[in-house]
Structure 1
Amino acid sequence: MKLAFISDIHGNAVALEAVLADILMREIDQIFVLGDLCYRGPEPKRALDLIRELNTEVIKGNADEWVVRGVKEGEVPAQALEIMNTERDWTVSKLNEDDLSYLANLPTSIQTEADGVKIHAFHATPESLFDIIPPNSDDDKIEQTLMAGQAADLYLYAHIHKPYIRFIGGRIVMNIGSVGLPFDGLAKASYGIVEVNQGQISTTIQRVTVDPELAAAKYDEVGYPNADMMARIVKNGRL
């Protein structure tokens, strides 16, 4: 069985379409979506519609929570709070009540099994949509924050936009990176593939070429607030 895990689309429908085409080519059996669907991108409605059309399991990310209720003090640097809420308000203006209700009611984790392999997936940590667990965290930190509370063979998360795979205590931890806003310096969409065959697990970080100029130009086309900064991130693959 081949499973694809995608996340952090952030309203970049150009990148999402490229990833979905790649998934189709690879004959994936099932797709799972780990949150951050439409905020901070130029095409929030189109990205959200593409995700909903997959008719699959989708969980909430911190950016989905922000769309629903706004960005609060202490959740981002103080100097970014005003512009991020301006971006949030712009995003909300492109969605309808059904879209907002959908985001509000998303669950926060996925527990599934493939050929006897137990999988636990979440956005940031099992307990938080916001906590940041970077790739260079020590094993104890990862075990305490990502692998506690739910027995699994494979733990998947997103949120940090920097993909990696680690093996700890005979179990696998995988960050699948970001479809729409990669932060690791490679301006390509990122997602995770998990292949399970008779209890054996293969994990892959898949990078997909996206036209960065096309994706970045969308911000200006739609009059997105903070367009220059967001376009730079898309083109450079880093904050």
Structure 2
Amino acid sequence: MKVAFISDIHGNAVALDAVLKDIETREVDKIFVLGDLCFRGPEPSRSLEIIRFLDCDVIKGNADEWLVRGINKGEVPDTALEIMNLEREWSLRQLDSQALEYLSGLPTELKFEYGKVKIFAFHATPDSLFEIVQPTENEDILEEKFMENEADIYIYAHIHKPYIRYIKGKSVINTGSVGLPFDGLTKASYALVDIGDKGFQLSNVRVEYDLNKVIKQFQESDYPNKELLMNILSSGKV
């Protein structure tokens, strides 16, 4: 059983197309989406349409929550609050009421089992859409944040930095970001779990996509914070 976890598309439909094409070549059995579907990218509507067409399990991310109810003071740096709300308003103009209803109704976690392998997936932490848990966190912190629910594999997204760690016999994997990576590579990222009769294998997959096309989409748009987003896309860093 091959299972792919994609997340943090952030309205980058070009990167999403490339990731789904790569997944198809790997004969993946099932896809799960861990949130942040369409905010902060040039194609929010098409990104959401692609995800909904997949007819797969999807959970909510912080950016999806922001689109639904706005960005509150304290959730981003004060200096970024005004411009990010302008970005939200731009994204909302590209979406209809059905899209917002869909985002509002998304669950916040996934629990399932393949054979003897239990998987627990969430966007940031089981208790928060916003909390940041970095790859370098102390093992005790990862155990405290993630492992209240019993599972063999804990999968999350949110930080845009793919990694894999093993803690007290448990596996933690971050998907990285399809549309807006922060780890210095400009390739899209997703997580792959290959479950066999006697165990499982985890991997982070990187996929090239037409970055120049996405940059051009921003350049030709009236997106209110496009210079910042283009810089992040071009460098793979915040």
**Structure 1-normalised TM-score?**
0.98
1:14-59 per-position Cα deviation (integer Å, ceiling 9, x unaligned)? 0000000000011000000000000000000000000000000000
Distance 1:184 1:142 in 2: 20
What does residue 105 of structure 1 align with?
105
TM-superposed deviation, 1:222: 2.4
Distance 2:168 2:217 in 1: 44
Distance 1:99 1:212 in 2: 26
**Secondary structure of 1:194's aligned partner:** strand
**Secondary structure of 1:103's aligned partner:** helix
TM-superposed deviation, 1:223: 1.6
Distance 2:115 2:204 in 1: 21
Which letter maps to 1:204? S
Name whichever of 101-110 and 224-233 sits farther off: 224-233
Alignment of 1:52-71 (within 5 A): 52-71=52-71
TM-superposed deviation, 1:78: 0.3
Which letter maps to 1:85? N
- After superposition, the CA RMSD in angstroms is 0.7
Name whichever of 223-232 and 21-30 sits farther off: 223-232
Identity of aligned residues (%): 55
What does residue 153 of structure 1 align with?
152
Distance 1:158 1:196 in 2: 20
Distance 2:197 2:191 in 1: 20
Gap regions ≥5 residues in structure 2: none
Kept in 2, the 8 Å contact 1:192–1:206? The answer is yes
Which letter maps to 2:218? Y
Alignment of 1:47-126 (within 5 A): 47-126=47-126
Which letter maps to 1:9? I
Distance 2:166 2:137 in 1: 13
Which letter maps to 2:108? T
Count matched residues: 238
What does residue 144 of structure 2 align with?
144
Name whichever of 217-226 and 99-108 sits farther off: 217-226
Which letter maps to 2:201? S
Kept in 2, the 8 Å contact 1:71–1:85? The answer is yes
Distance 2:17 2:222 in 1: 22
What does residue 16 of structure 1 align with?
16
TM-superposed deviation, 1:172: 0.2
Which letter maps to 2:231? R
Distance 1:146 1:213 in 2: 37
Kept in 2, the 8 Å contact 1:44–1:94? The answer is yes
What does residue 223 of structure 1 align with?
222
What does residue 26 of structure 1 align with?
26
TM-superposed deviation, 1:131: 0.2
Kept in 2, the 8 Å contact 1:115–1:199? The answer is no
Distance 2:199 2:54 in 1: 27
Distance 2:211 2:98 in 1: 31
**Secondary structure of 2:102's aligned partner:** helix
Distance 1:6 1:221 in 2: 27
Distance 1:237 1:51 in 2: 23
TM-superposed deviation, 1:199: 4.0
